[in-house]
Structure 1
Amino acid sequence: MIFVAKYDYFVIDIGSTYTKLRLFKDCRLVATAQAPTTIENVYKGITLGKTKICAATGDTSIDACHVLATSSAAGGLRMVAMGYMARVTAKAAKEVAMNAGARVLEIVSQEDPPEYRVEILKEINPDIILLAGGTDGGDESSIIENAKLILESGIKAVVIIAGNINSQSEVAGILHDGGVAYERVPNIMPTIHELRVREAREAIHQEFIRQITKAPGLAPLKQEITTDKIIPTPGAVLMGAELLAKGVYDEKGLGDLVLVDLGGATTDVHSVLPSLEKLADEEKGLIVANEKQVAYRTVEGNLGMRVSAQGILDVVGSKGLLKKRNIDDKSVEREVTQYVRFLEKNPGHLPKNEREKLFDELLAETAIEVALKRHAGFITQEFDPIMGTVPGMPIGRDLRKVKYIIGVGGFFVHNKLSDAQKRIENAIKKPEFSLLPENPEILIDQNYLLYAAGAISQIDREYAFTLLKNYFGI
């Protein structure tokens, strides 16, 4: 007799504040639950969430074919990137760390004195070092020198060897003889036009898994999940967005889209432009430029709805914030300033009245607008003979023809669909010189499913894509 599970996928996300659970059957959402994340023992929060799921379905237990997990509770690995040229290494490191569960704390290059590089390693004592440098067939000396400096520092980080393929064997020998753990992956920048980050991300991801599974209470979850992975939540969200944009082998995705992830501490923008996939290397330009890359992400670490709310006021001021509603009143300016200070100390606060709701709306619109304008390119207003630009020329990432903007985050979850969409509409209605989407359709991830779809896509891309189509009604 063949045993058939009642449900297809059960996906758990362990966040820093809340643990979210989602149950799926036949490419549709069956039940959701949320419980406070219990840091002292994360499985307590998971158990409470399971109880809520069972209450919703009427089951005594959750019988799913696949049990998957994501997490953002570990805070991310501390990472230092070492390379040949600072600008190139910085670009590569950001792309590698983008959804691998790592935080790039420092970039060092051949331009820095050797003693400075050693001091940085000692001071940060990173969990992981991304050791890059040289295109394939290019410079070999920098990556070899940096390997020796790692030994000199005496730290015990895991080293991801991701530079010139011709020098990797010698570098591996240096690290092996010095007792430093390492893993070799293909060069993350084999040519000046190409980034190859998948293997490096996977290596960092495995280290992320080793770290997070040390958290109290995760041992029983490891026994329940049906894969050997606990995926970093930001990575799962972005994988869901990329799947939605690109589609699967026999069905097209939505095409060009922008994801705005509005959080309490940061506002992340991720644009996926499949329309650029067919460009030749020469048309893409150098890899350090972003305008022709299919996927590009920016993180505004000082723009958030709660712990980073002051960062929004720092950009526009209380007067500029209220100007969006034509409010010119010193007493209201003082009110919003006091409210922002309160939010930073009380990040779990939800608006209690219409005035607080208004302030939250203004904070959201401003964070989205600033983040999008920093992510997008612009139309230059002046002559620059050195850069070869003239007034009216578009510079940077052109999002004007993007078809969709997707809103993700707690603010969108806690507001009506029409209100959530209005915040994004207001944020882009005055692009000025920025190359923002002109007439996009606005989608809101109100049940926070992109993370689940991203996790499911690692098992079955077609199932995950159909799930997203059903969810967004497309």
Structure 2
Amino acid sequence: MGIAILIDFGSTHTKVLAVDIDDEEILGRAQAVTTVEKDITIGLNLALKKLFTENDLKESDITNKYACSSAAGGLRMAAIGLVPALTLEAARRAALGAGAKVIWSSGYELDELQLQKIEDNSPDIILLTGGTDGGDRKVILHNAELLAESNIQAHFLVAGNRSVVQKVKIILDEGGKNAQITHNVLPEVDRLDIEPAQALIRNLFIKQITEAKGLNKAQNYIGDIVMPTPSATLQAATLLADGTENESGIGSLLVVEVGGATINIHSVAEGQPSNSNIILRGLPEARIKRTVEGDLGIRYNAPSILEFVGSQVCLSQLQAMAADVNLNTSELTDLAQGLSNNVGHVPNTDFDFCLDRVLAESAVAFAVERHVGTLRQEFSLAGEIKVQKGKDLTQVNNIIGTGGIFKYGRAPEEVLCSALFDPQKPWSLKPISPTAYIDRDYLLYGIGLLAEDFPDKALRIAKRSMVPACLNIHKGKLASVAS
């Protein structure tokens, strides 16, 4: 078989991995700043040169090449639905599960101001939904007519009420738009059907979006981009959890993926209520789920994280980690803005590492809280009841941290602890006492890529490469909650 090169064109860095497929061994890794604004092959070639030099490899040794990408913000999508809690939420789930970043969404009928916002956000794809099968027709037709008359340039996917989607496509086509039809993402009020839309989104990414991101310049070397990076990580998570016919998985899991532009959370777990006394409400949750938080990347969004947490709180956390920190909140805000302006910044001082840790811990806590479900007490005619919305991940078996902060940061375990159940927020159904692992080799995206052709080998490499992490201090604190 030989050696595989696994490439990720990230928003901040281009990562490359070399894997010996026969021996199921990681030979080495390297990275360089992603150069999508100039020529993406510049960063790729720098990373490959470093990889080959440091690991005594030659181009002639390489037999397989796979690549994924989230460069230049990844696959940008707008989701449009009917009722926000139903068809719009179904559309968002379809987009996120396919590896896209939902940069704008809206329910009900669009207006001119919203059209302008869509145009300003420049999505690659617009997912247009609305109405269960045989249900509302008016809203999706209204929205199609406005979109057809607009100056918006994007690929349109129509995934709404099947009794009207052909007419919607005709309206969009007559307006000069490029539209395709797929299955309704919400054919019935209590049933999702998002897989066909996800498959079409991934296919569009491979065939068309790579050119829009400048990745066609790298295709002479690597061939097609296989998938968006978040899809590769989600595929790796599913492989690790479920295993293959020949190799057992490790069970339910939550993956925390920290990046410079986004925080991605992936879960492979049923997420059902922990006991029969809890009432489950809302749309059914997918067992394999991904959420992306575009406002929590620890480079692009450092100022936003500071704003969410409070600059004084972050400053106090920094001072607790490094007693010699001597700055005020205004200076801290300037430093956060500096990170946002220089997204390729690599920490090289104790203070840099501490600041990254504070930002990552806060971002992870927010991101996982948004991903998991909630449990609340309500009152009915029958008395007090407990109502769950979303997935209960309190009993998930495993948690994995991946991304630059877990590869290069000095406190990866502490960052991962931020994803755990917080007794001060008992309504948030975060994991209580999972077995923890750190993706020290920044490998998960590569496992997802390799799994395309070598699932058994990819799984064995992943299981050997995940480094156990000790979260015992936090587990002890949470033991009384779990019981």
Output the TM-score relative to the length of structure 2: 0.81
3-state SS of 2:28 partner: strand
2:140 equivalent to 1:143: yes
Pairing partner for 2:408 from 405, 414, 418: 414
For 1:258 and 1:13, locate their aligned partners in 2 and report how far apart those are by CA, in whole Å: 21
2:235 equivalent to 1:243: no
- Matches for 1:326-405 after TM superposition, within 5 Å: 327=320, 331=326, 333-334=328-329, 336-337=332-333, 339-380=335-376, 384-385=378-379, 390=384, 396-405=390-399
CA contact (8 A) 2:362 2:418 kept: no
2:227 equivalent to 1:231: yes
Match of 1:272 in 2: 268
Pairing partner for 2:81 from 75, 80, 83: 83
Identical-residue share of aligned pairs (%): 34
For 1:217 and 1:83, locate their aligned partners in 2 and report how far apart those are by CA, in whole Å: 31
For 1:363 and 1:124, locate their aligned partners in 2 and report how far apart those are by CA, in whole Å: 26
For 1:313 and 1:389, locate their aligned partners in 2 and report how far apart those are by CA, in whole Å: 41
- Matches for 1:30-179 after TM superposition, within 5 Å: 30-39=27-36, 40-100=38-98, 102-109=100-107, 111-112=108-109, 126-153=123-150, 155-179=152-176
Match of 1:423 in 2: 415
For 2:182 and 2:370, locate their aligned partners in 1 and report how far apart those are by CA, in whole Å: 32
CA contact (8 A) 2:10 2:70 kept: yes
Shift of 1:65: 3.3
For 2:147 and 2:252, locate their aligned partners in 1 and report how far apart those are by CA, in whole Å: 42
CA contact (8 A) 2:32 2:46 kept: yes
Shift of 1:262: 1.9
3-state SS of 2:433 partner: coil
Structure 2: which amino acid aligns with 1:18? H
Structure 1: which amino acid aligns with 2:47? G
Structure 2: which amino acid aligns with 1:425? C
Shift of 1:393: 6.3
3-state SS of 1:44 partner: helix
Match of 2:313 in 1: 320
3-state SS of 1:357 partner: helix
Structure 1: which amino acid aligns with 2:211? T
Q: Would the alpha carbon gap of residues 169 and 108 (structure 1) be closer, same or farther in structure 2, given more than 3 Å must change?
A: same
CA contact (8 A) 1:102 1:208 kept: no
Structure 2: which amino acid aligns with 1:256? S
Shift of 1:324: 5.2
Match of 1:17 in 2: 12
Structure 2: which amino acid aligns with 1:307? Y
For 1:64 and 1:330, locate their aligned partners in 2 and report how far apart those are by CA, in whole Å: 48
For 1:38 and 1:122, locate their aligned partners in 2 and report how far apart those are by CA, in whole Å: 25
Match of 1:196 in 2: 193
CA contact (8 A) 2:99 2:231 kept: yes
Number of equivalences? 456
Q: Runs of 5+ in structure 2 lacking a partner?
A: 274-278, 469-483
Shift of 1:379: 4.6
2:460 equivalent to 1:466: yes
CA contact (8 A) 1:256 1:275 kept: no
Instruction: Report Cα offsets for 1:423-471 as digits up to 9, x if no partner.
Output: 3236637432132211112211121111111122233333322221222
- Matches for 1:206-221 after TM superposition, within 5 Å: 206-209=203-206, 210-216=208-214, 218-219=216-217, 221=218
Instruction: Report Cα offsets for 1:380-413 as digits up to 9, x if no partner.
Output: 3xx6436988487665432211111111121111
Question: Is 387-396 or 203-212 further displaced after alignment?
Answer: 387-396
CA contact (8 A) 1:271 1:295 kept: yes
Pairing partner for 1:440 from 421, 425, 434: 434
Question: Is 438-447 or 207-216 further displaced after alignment?
Answer: 207-216
Match of 2:473 in 1: none
2:175 equivalent to 1:181: no
Structure 1: which amino acid aligns with 2:399? I
For 1:87 and 1:406, locate their aligned partners in 2 and report how far apart those are by CA, in whole Å: 30
CA contact (8 A) 1:245 1:274 kept: no
Match of 1:280 in 2: none
Shift of 1:330: 9.9
Q: Would the alpha carbon gap of residues 193 and 326 (structure 1) be closer, same or farther in structure 2, given more than 3 Å must change?
A: same
2:472 equivalent to 1:455: no
- Matches for 1:258-269 after TM superposition, within 5 Å: 258-269=254-265
CA contact (8 A) 1:44 1:217 kept: no
Shift of 1:323: 5.0
Shift of 1:68: 1.0
Match of 1:297 in 2: 290
Shift of 1:321: 3.2
CA RMSD of aligned residues (A): 3.6
CA contact (8 A) 1:255 1:274 kept: no
